[in-house]
Amino acid sequence: MIPFELLEAQSLREAIGLLDPEDASVRPIAGGTALMLMMKAGLFRPTRLVSLRLVRGCSDIRVDADGAVCIGALTPLATLEHSPDIQRLLPVIASTLRVLSNVRVRNVATVGGCLAHGDPHMDLPPVLIALGASVRVLGRGGERLIPMADLLTGYFETRLTKDELISELLVPPQNGRRSAYLKCTTRAGHDWPTLGVAVSLAVDGDCVRDATVVASAATERPMRIEAPRTLLVGRHPDAKLLRAAGEAAAIALADELHGSTAYKQQLVRVYVERALRQALDGDGGALQ
Amino acid sequence: MKVLGQIRVRAPREAVFNALQDAAFFASCIDGVHELVEIDPAHYNAVLETRIAYMKFRFKLVIELIRKEPPSVLEARVEGTPLGIVGRVTATSLTRLSQDVDETKIEYEIEAALTGKLGSLGQPVLRSKAKEMEKQFATRLCAAFEQTLSEPRS
């Protein structure tokens, strides 16, 4: 490994000051579960790492009076998984985390690090997009909010500039919306997904009032698919309609899928239908 | 991994073929290629520097022109060894040129294989990078011909 400088910041502000807006080889490091693998493989050779390990006050989970949830960027994924507030208000996040990598990784990896890494195979981004979440970002020029749907722009690419850090994840109140995340893995259940599908439904009586369907992993970045929403809104979600929604999603994504298009389309067709059914049944689990 | 693509250039096929077989011109259309050395008319060495997000890669390239059928076919084999990473990229590219009214249609097919740690990045990432490089190559190639066409003839 080529030697590099390791600096430990005491606050996010100090960390931002230690980053270099012009130099991509200067990176922040939180849990380091992804970055260390890239460094060990020789894919990333930093000149400086700014460790966020000593930063305090960014790992709380706060619930506002209206039910909105604010999650500090340095919250370990395992803390999120076991949080009673998350299990009560956002059960889809808790169930997704149970199949996100393994417990050793979840104990160390942080929410902000996981989102800033920008890997389209990550499990959390599609779920957070479906939930309408956004991230608060801190930089030299102040802070700004970026909707999760806009954060990831490509492979390992995000809207963050080189001297910006995610400080908080904000999930709006769900007001009874039903959500589910399903992932298709080719080996173990907690593996990287071949396809991830997250859905969030607002249902009035026996009629769908709103629907968000997001696909990830098989695409260059997590993508909202509009076609199933158009079909579902205002209608009773019976088996035939759910199947049609899966079909519509597969057609809409035809030009966005990598690998074998026919195979991935079939996965989309099946998993969108299953995820919708799971959300309607109130079982938001992230099983295969 | 197979990458297919098509580029259209507003120029006669012969002119495009001559440009593509000119190694120095070809290299100038790809961002990050330098230290191009001609070993003989069919063999070249070069260095390619490129980025994927915050990761920087430097490859030593060995290029061999294995088929040349003017003005329609060019086939080359490229072997890239990344500096500082265990791995290798090997690729064979077949390029076919055809005249389509006042344009030349360049159709290419690249069969690439990754070995070692480079493979851990995954094919989709490299496919996306290849597409980005193709866009840049097409822009520069077309710009070069536009410039030639607009230059006053003496």
Domain boundaries, chain B: 2-149
pLDDT over 60 (residue A197)? yes
Q: How many other C-beta atoms are found inside a 10 Å radius of the C-beta of residue A282?
A: 10
Q: Are residues A11 and A46 in the same domain?
A: yes
The pLDDT score that the predictor gives to residue A58 is: 95
Give yes or no for B115 touching A (CB within 8 A). Answer: no
Q: Are residues A165 and A66 in the same domain?
A: yes
Round the average pLDDT of chain B to a whole number and report it.
87
pLDDT over 50 (residue A267)? yes
SS3 B14: helix
Residue A95 lies in a domain: yes
Q: Are residues A120 and A141 in the same domain?
A: yes
Positive or negative CA dihedral for A119, A124, A130, A134? negative
Chain A residues with CB under 8 Å of B124 CB are 155, 220, 258-259
Whether A43 and B86 lie within 8 Å, measured CB to CB:
no
Residue A288 lies in a domain: no
Q: How far is B64 from chain A (nearest CA, A)?
A: 27
Q: Are residues A65 and A166 in the same domain?
A: yes
Mean pLDDT of the B75-99 span: 89
Phi, psi of B57 (to 5 degrees): -125, 145
Residue A286 lies in a domain: no
Q: How many CB pairs under 8 A join A and B?
A: 47
Tens digits of residue pLDDT in B106-146:
999 988 888 887 777 777 888 888 888 888 888 898 888 87
Round the average pLDDT of chain A to a whole number and report it.
93
d(CA A202, CA B53): 37
Q: Are residues A199 and A252 in the same domain?
A: yes
Tens digits of residue pLDDT in A14-61:
999 999 999 989 999 999 999 998 898 888 999 999 999 999 999 999
DSSP category for residue B153 = P
Range with lowest mean pLDDT among A66-80, B85-99, B134-148: B134-148
Q: How far is A75 from chain B (nearest CA, A)?
A: 24
Give yes or no for B62 touching A (CB within 8 A). Answer: no
Q: Which domain holds residue A135?
A: 61-171
Distances (CA, A) of B19 to A68, A126, A275, B142, B148: 61, 46, 53, 11, 12
User: Which residues, 6 or more positions from B140, have their beta carbon under 8 angstroms from its beta carbon?
Assistant: B28, B29, B30
Whether A258 and B127 lie within 8 Å, measured CB to CB:
yes
Q: How many other C-beta atoms are found inside a 10 Å radius of the C-beta of residue A173?
A: 15
Place of tokens 């020029």: A141
User: Which residues, 6 or more positions from B110, have their beta carbon under 8 angstroms from its beta carbon?
Assistant: B2, B3, B4, B91, B92, B93, B94, B130
Q: Are residues A129 and A147 in the same domain?
A: yes
- Residue A118 burial by Cβ neighbours in a 10 Å radius (0-12, 13-18, 19+): buried
Give the domain B2-149 fold: Alpha-D-Glucose-1,6-Bisphosphate; Chain A, domain 4 (3.30.530)
Residue A73 lies in a domain: yes
Q: Are residues A65 and A164 in the same domain?
A: yes
Whether A27 and B54 lie within 8 Å, measured CB to CB:
yes
Chain A residues with CB under 8 Å of B55 CB are 38, 43-44, 156
Number of domains in chain A: 3
d(CA B5, CA A138): 41
Residue A136 lies in a domain: yes
